[in-house]
């Protein structure tokens, strides 16, 4: 009986120790994911091309581009689309063209209004890691949106996506970036510091990788998008 009791106690100790180790490793892994050093578990098959379709890297959402100017900038979105609370916001999407310093709102894949924007301090090229001052390219969605104490409004994008992770891992394999580099996070669309609208006018790329537009413009845009709105960022 005494031996059985000892074995039972050892079994409970082993089980408890295993649970503690599992919990500790889970917390450690979650922290690595949060800091951009580890691929989230749901992404692993796609990121390492074990569950990939040929269309995964096309990243094309908008095919009808507006002319090379700001489309309908003199009109308000209310004039064009009506009151936002009466609009089906599922029809709305956004295209950002880095080479044209332009953000365009689309309604049912048709361009309706454009705004001037600026980017990260190193605007040429796709974002591959945290700290490269580049704005990422690809198709994203707005995962959250809220007022910002310094930049008026913030539309938080779901970077890094599976495609972002794929490009990050490939850059490590190619030696373009280091294996210790983080993929980065917290990329969004926001305004500018107070009394700094000339930043946009003179195309001063000042962010760490976000898309920035005038406060009055991001405030207008804010009313016509929602969580889940698609945002395509291209060269």
pLDDT at 24: 59
Q: What is the mean pLDDT of residues 210-230?
A: 97
Tokens of 80: 């064009």
Tokens of 204: 């001063």
Tokens of 141: 């969605």
pLDDT at 171: 94
pLDDT at 82 over 60: yes
Long-range contacts of 49-57 (CB under 8 A, 24+ apart): 49/166, 56/162, 56/163, 57/163, 57/166
Q: What is the mean pLDDT of residues 65-76?
A: 92
pLDDT at 33: 66
pLDDT at 50: 57
**pTM, full prediction:** 0.84
pLDDT grade for 54, boundaries at 50, 70 and 90: very low
Tokens of 77: 């979105």
pLDDT at 101: 97
The 10s digit of each residue's pLDDT in 20-32 is 554 556 666 666 6
Q: What is the mean pLDDT of residues 189-200?
A: 93
pLDDT at 38 over 50: yes
Rg (CA), the chain: 23
* Paired residues of 232 in beta bridges: 95, 139
| Integer angstrom CA distances of residue 67 from 12, 70, 76, 116 | 70, 8, 18, 14
pLDDT at 56 over 70: no
Q: What is the mean pLDDT of residues 28-40?
A: 70
Dist CA 91 CA 82 (whole Å): 13
Q: What angle do CA 214, 158, 77 make, to 5 degrees?
A: 35
Q: Give the range among 14-28, 75-89, 100-114, 148-162 with minimum mean pLDDT.
A: 14-28
pLDDT at 37: 74
pLDDT at 180: 92
pLDDT at 178 over 80: yes
Which CATH superfamily, name and number, covers 53-234?
L,D-transpeptidase catalytic domain-like (2.40.440.10)
Q: What is the mean pLDDT of residues 1-17?
A: 55
Dist CA 111 CA 197 (whole Å): 24
pLDDT grade for 47, boundaries at 50, 70 and 90: confident
pLDDT at 123: 87
Q: Where are the domains of the chain?
A: 53-234
């Amino acid at each position: 009986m005494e031996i059985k009791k000892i074995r039972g106690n050892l079994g409970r100790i082993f089980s408890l120790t295993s649970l503690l180790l599992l919990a500790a490793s889970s917390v450690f892994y979650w922290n690595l994911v949060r800091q951009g050093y580890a691929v989230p578990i749901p992404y692993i098959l796609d990121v390492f091309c074990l569950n990939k379709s040929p269309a995964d890297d096309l990243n094309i959402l908008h095919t009808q581009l507006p002319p090379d100017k700001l489309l309908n900038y003199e009109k308000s979105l209310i004039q064009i689309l009506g009151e936002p609370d009466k609009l089906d916001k599922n029809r709305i999407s956004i295209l950002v063209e880095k080479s044209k310093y332009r953000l365009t709102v689309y309604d049912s894949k048709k361009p309706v209004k454009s705004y001037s924007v600026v980017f990260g301090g190193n605007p040429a090229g796709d974002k591959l890691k945290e700290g490269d001052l580049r704005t990422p390219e690809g198709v994203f969605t707005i995962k959250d949106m809220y007022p910002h104490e310094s930049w008026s409004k913030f539309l938080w994008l779901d970077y890094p996506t599976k495609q972002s992770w794929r490009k990050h891992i490939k850059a490590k394999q190619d030696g373009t970036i280091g294996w210790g580099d983080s993929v980065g996070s917290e990329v969004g669309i926001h305004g500018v510091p107070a009394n700094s609208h000339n930043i946009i006018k003179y195309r001063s790329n000042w962010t760490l990788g976000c898309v920035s537009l005038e406060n009055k413009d991001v405030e207008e845009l804010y009313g016509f998008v929602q969580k889940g709105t698609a945002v395509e960022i291209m060269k």
